[in-house]
Copies of this chain bind each other. A is one copy, B any other.
Amino acid sequence: MSRPTMKHVAARAGVDTSTVSRALNERTRDMLSGDTVERVLAAAADLGYRPNALARSLRTQRSHVVGMVVPDLTNPFFPPILRGLEDVLGRHGYTLLVTNTDNHLDRERQALHSLLERQVDAMVLATSHIGFEAAEPLAVGALPVVLVNRRSIDASVPFVVPDDDAAVHEVAAHLYELGHRRVAHVAGPQDVSTGRARAEVFVAACAELGLPEPDMEVSEAFAVEPGRRATEKLLARGIDASAIFAGNDLLAIGALQALRDGGRQVPDDVSLVGYNDMPLVDMIDPPLTTVEVPKYAMGERAAELLLTWLDTGEPPDHGTEVTLPCHLVVRRSSAALT
């Protein structure tokens, strides 16, 4: 009737359930006579037996699931990271359990607790709220946790991030070399670590190049509409920048719309650079100059950190951070100042 359990297999094979367990587990199989193993395997196959992962996890105190909390799956930035995570975790018998939070702080907390209740063995946080990992009692449970695409303010939490610093410098240098001297920044939200970091680094990079401080407008979110609104404000303020660096591609696209609506051509009147190299930005008009971020690799590296932590029981060295190189992809939205 209902799904067969070990009891059913045991009955059919004429052995105890403990013997079934041993026969089914490769590591304990050789404790048994070949004959017994065969009988058990046959019985299990006949019945279409599938082990109950819940019961096993309860007993072994290992769920073999890694929880992940993500702000928004709909943002194409994240799926490749998940794929990287899944691919390496999967090879080691772990499953990824993903929860969306819509960038909402209490949904982050809620997601965290729900994952904890599900007894995840480890956690990957790609949430945006700075300090979140420290506020929550994760370290207490000694649960392996790594951040991805976010730096930690707590040195006991390792993280994997793109080398935004170098990349933003590269963007500034690129614009400088094209002859731009007045530049502006359409920044991401400043309570999000990437938004803040890119803005700060861009300001610093401009200073290093001897450029005047960039005009800046902060967007409420990493999305097209906020980018458009921020750029409109920039234009309304009468800025005279010949180049705009946007905090990410979505913001850049919003900026593109605002510029166009404001009668400015890209790149003829103003050059535009985005961030992330999301799908299709090479196909828009004009193809967007942007920064390619190693999303898949970030997922892979985060998974590797977690796996060695899980295997050895030892957290990575205090202050561990993995920084992955990005690279600038020059397309037609940025051009020499004429």
Contacts and interface: CB of A to CB of B under 8 A. Distances in A.
Interface in A223-275: 253, 256
A179 interface: no
A308 interface: no
Contacts of A73: 73, 79, 82-83
- Identical chains in the assembly: 2
A140 to B, nearest CB: 8
Interface residues of A, number: 43
A209 interface: no
Interface stretch (A10-18, A94-102, A164-172, A214-222): A94-102
Given A95-B114, A280-B284, A284-B280, A119 B76 contact: no
Contacts of A57: 54
Interface stretch (A45-53, A126-134, A195-203, A310-318): A45-53
Contact of A79 (B74, B119, B253, B284): B74
A170 to B, nearest CB: 24
A137 interface: yes
Nearest to A295: B74
A55 interface: yes
Given A141-B3, A253-B283, A280-B284, A53 B119 contact: yes
A116 interface: yes
B100 A83 contact: yes
Given A73-B73, A82-B73, A53 B100 contact: no
A279 interface: yes
A104 interface: no
Contacts of A97: 95, 97
Contacts of A80: 74
Contacts of A3: 141
A57 B119 CA distance: 12
Given A79-B73, A283-B285, A54 B58 contact: yes
B52 A117 contact: yes
A7 interface: no
Interface in A263-311: 278-281, 283-286
Interface of A: 2-3, 48, 50-55, 57-58, 63, 73-74, 76, 79-80, 82-83, 86, 95, 97-100, 113-114, 116-119, 137, 141, 253, 256, 278-281, 283-286
Given A2-B141, A54-B119, 9 more contacts: A3-B141, A73-B73, A73-B79, A73-B83, A95-B99, A95-B114, A97-B97, A280-B281, A284-B284
